[in-house]
Amino acid sequence: MSLVKRYLAPADYSAEESWRLVEWCRDIGADEFTIDCVGSDARAEAVVRQPFEKIAHPFSRGEETRERMSGATADDLTRRTRLWELNPDTVGALQQALPNGLLAYDPEGQGWFEDPILYREGDLLLGVLSHEAFAVLRISVLESVRFEAAGFPSHDSLPRVG
């Protein structure tokens, strides 16, 4: 299947619209996700991660090799990645972890979540690079038409920040 890239800017999406986007991705086959938890130290990260883990743990898919949106080197863009099943319960966990929306970047306090990625059959479908304020959606041409018809804003290239 030939894929097109649609670029998304957080400024174009309210929190509510970002969760509608997640449901749209689920409707076209998104079946798993990853998300990073960042903390000022291991203890702070554990405190932030605990409520998410409480909900998401039963849906853990362990670790698999997946494409990521960032890495220390180009080789790190594909690496072992912790995964969870994408379902209504884990979407709820994501909503708690990212209260301002899937595309928001909120580095508050001593720990936060960032860079969520939705996968479809092991392939990156929607990847967010939170601190760079953009996301990429990889979909078919037909899905792109449906995406636009659903009223989701997107760009042909990376949106400029600032």
> What single string gives the DSSP state of each residue in 2-30?
-EEEEEE-GGG--HHHHHHHHHHHHHTT-
In a domain, 157, yes or no: no
At residue 71, does pLDDT exceed 80?
A: no
8 vs 31: CA distance, rounded Å: 20
- Quote the pLDDT of residue 74: 73
In a domain, 162, yes or no: no
In a domain, 159, yes or no: no
Range of the domain at 9: 3-133+141-149
- Quote the pLDDT of residue 107: 87
In a domain, 123, yes or no: yes
- Quote the pLDDT of residue 95: 97
In a domain, 57, yes or no: yes
pLDDT band at 160 (very low <50, low <70, confident <90, very high): low
157 vs 6: CA distance, rounded Å: 7
31 vs 134: CA distance, rounded Å: 22
- Quote the pLDDT of residue 162: 52
Contact assessment for residue 10 and residue 133, using Cβ atoms and an 8 Å cutoff? yes
pLDDT band at 43 (very low <50, low <70, confident <90, very high): confident
In a domain, 117, yes or no: yes
pTM for this predicted structure:
0.94
For the chain, the domain total comes to: 1
φ, ψ at 146 (rounded to 5°): -65, -35
At residue 161, does pLDDT exceed 60?
A: no
